Amino acid sequence: MPKTKTSSESILTKEAIGFSLIIVLSWVTELLHIPNLLFSEPHVINWHRALLRTVVIVGVWLWVHVATKRVLRRLHHLEEYLLICSWCRKVGHEGEWLTMEQYFGSKFSTETSHGICPECALRIQHPKIPAVPTEKQ
């Protein structure tokens, strides 16, 4: 999960840099008298326009930031699910389909073994399979 946190922080950092640049460009435009050059407006710095523009940009930034965090949180939640084939029970992992044994061996360095749960043992009722005692009995 550290990789996910880093990518989330990276996305939010890039977002913050982008909005900060928009704010800086907004103020540079006002300080360099760009409206005067382009639209023949009076040669005065309009502080109210610059402040209003900054407030609007910060408002949009906050809205986008919250929405991005929610989307990233949901994406990371969905990434936590284990993808298992409905038919053969193989596990989808990093673009490959592995058997359960291969998956647990590679992902968790765990040896696997096979057994039969009490419910399946009762359903099968095979004479060679001894009944597995349960805690309820």
**In this predicted structure, what is the pLDDT of residue 54?**
94
User: Are 110 and 118 within 8 A, CB to CB?
Assistant: no
Mean pLDDT of 82-89: 83
pTM, entire model: 0.51
Checking if the pLDDT of 18 tops 90, the result is: yes
| H helix intervals, the chain | 2-31, 34-39, 47-79, 100-107, 118-124
Checking if the pLDDT of 2 tops 50, the result is: no
**In this predicted structure, what is the pLDDT of residue 106?**
72
Of 65, 61, 75, nearest in space to 1 by CA: 75
User: Are 84 and 91 within 8 A, CB to CB?
Assistant: yes
More confident residue, 12 or 78: 12
Distance of alpha carbon 15 from alpha carbon 77, whole angstroms: 21
* pLDDT, the chain, mean: 80
**In this predicted structure, what is the pLDDT of residue 83?**
81
pLDDT in tens, 34-79: 777 788 777 777 788 889 999 999 999 999 999 999 999 888 876 6
Mean pLDDT of 18-24: 94
Strands of 96-98's sheet in order across: 83-84, 91-93, 96-98
Checking if the pLDDT of 1 tops 50, the result is: no
